[in-house]
Structure 1
Amino acid sequence: MISKIFLSLLWIGFVIYGFFLAPPGQPDTIELIKNLSTGNWDNINPLIIAVFNSIGLVTVIYANLLFIDGREQKIVAWPFAIASLAVGTFAVIPYLILRERNPKFSGEKNLLIKLADSRLLHIFISITLIVFISWGVISGNGLDFIQEWQTRRFINVMSLDLLCLCLIFPFIIKDDMLRRNIKNDALFWTVSLIPLLGTLIYLCFRPSLPE
């Protein structure tokens, strides 16, 4: 119950900030999103490119976790999983609030579950994420990013969205561990207290779901 209250307050606060308190939107935001989406990255700060692509990859990870978690839930997970690919935290947190703890997995793994459970897929995602983040940090202009963050709603909210997604992984990772018969509190807290990197390492080395 405490976690649901916390997540509810976090979601409400994020919505209020995103729509009412964040810096104003800019007229060229749609053009920026289009260029970022299509790989037309000329004259765009690599840090912005890295954050944009990182949030896309992180939401793919969440979609995989939600597809597996939803097998034993009363609510349907796939609408939240698909929506998370577009709006990130705005879709993930409502699912985490509505779901119930259920550390079980039953039935056969269909093609979608097998893909979501794939170790190779998560190794590929992890390597790609690390490459984007490293490239953004090394090649990007930090001062320019800060200025953009302070003046552009899209950059501001996108960055906070990525940060939030990285911090709330523990709310769904615990049950994922138990489904794989991993009953190790020390491992859970290690993964939880190392934002993003801890989760990536776990996803790359976790055992497969038992059928």
Structure 2
Amino acid sequence: MKTKMFLGLLWATFIAYTLLLAPLDQPGTLTVIEKMIKFQLEGINPYLVTVFALMGVWPMVYACLLFIDERTQNISAGPAFIASNGAGIIGLIPYLLLRQPQPQFSGRKDMLIKISDSRWTGLVLLLTTIWLLAWAWLNGDWGDYVQQWQSIPFVHLITWDCCLMAVIFPSLLGDDMARRGTRRRSHFLGSLSSSAVRAASLSLSAPPSARLCNRNRHFPTDSQKLKHGKILFSGLRLTVTGCSCRVRPPA
């Protein structure tokens, strides 16, 4: 409940702040956006280009979680994904407000979920982010970017938007890591993810042991046969929880 209250307050505040600054009404804003979309980057600070590009990377990072998460919800993540590409957190937060916590995943993975769950997808996003940050650091003018952030509404808002996309990422990460059976590492990665997009990509490029799994499955007890023909010793029960197995005697 506290998380949703925070998200709702953040959403309303950022909408009001955007309307107040009205960046698209400022002269030259649409021209700069058009140039960056067309890769006509001459005269544009690489730090601004990187932040603008990361606002395209972030929706892809979220998509890796959203399209898996929507299988456990009564709402579609498609509109939120599309809206987040143009409106950032303003388009994304409504889905986070309407969804319900669900740490379990059931059913088959279709092609979209297989791509979202692939470590190669996370690896591509991670390398893209590292390249963008390195390019900005080597070629950009940080002092000039700070001045633009202080004086140009578009730069000010897109920077905040990029940072806030990282701040709200843990609202999805907890359930996703529970589905992957990596809850033990959730505190570390959750804290890390709130500081940089590369950490979110790192969590998506986890090794195969962290793939999606169905939790709380119970296998046959006593002398019933398992799928691969193995027989459980009499009186023992095998339980799979979070993709880890344990054998315990009967109560």
TM range (shorter): over 0.9
Higher relative contact order (CA 8 A, sep 6+): 1
Aligned residue number for residue 192 of structure 1: 190
Normalised to the residue count of structure 1, the TM-score between the two structures is 0.93
Amino acid at match of 1:12: A
Partner of 2:100: 100
Structure 1 CA distance, aligned partners of 2:105 and 2:165?
Answer: 24
2:174 touches 2:190 (CA, 8 Å); kept in 1? no
Q: Identify which of 200, 206, 212 aligns with 1:209.
A: 212
Deviates more, 1:24-33 or 1:38-47: 24-33
1:40-119 residue pairs with structure 2 within 5 A? Answer: 40-119=40-119
Question: Hey, what does 1:139 align to over in structure 2?
Answer: 139
Alpha-carbon deviation of 1:46?
0.6
CA-to-aligned-CA distance 1:85-127 (integer Å, 9 cap, x gap): 2211111111111110001111111111111111101101111
- Whole-Å Cα distance in 1 between the matches of residues 123 and 24 of structure 2? 37
Q: CA RMSD in A?
A: 1.7
Q: Which runs of 5+ in 2 are unaligned?
A: 215-251
Q: Higher Cα Rg: structure 1 or 2?
A: 2
Alpha carbons of 1:24 and 1:31: their partners in 2 closer, same or farther (altered >3 Å)? closer
| 8 Å Cα contact 1:115-1:121 kept in structure 2 | yes
Q: 1:175 to 1:121 in 2, by over 3 A?
A: same
Q: Distance in 2 between matches of 1:24 and 1:210?
A: 45
TM-score by length of 2: 0.78
Which structure is higher in helix share?
A: 1
Q: Tell me the SS of whatever aligns to 2:102.
A: coil
- Measured in 1, the distance between the counterparts of 2:88 and 2:97 equals 15
Runs of 4+ in 1 over 6 A off after TM superposition: none
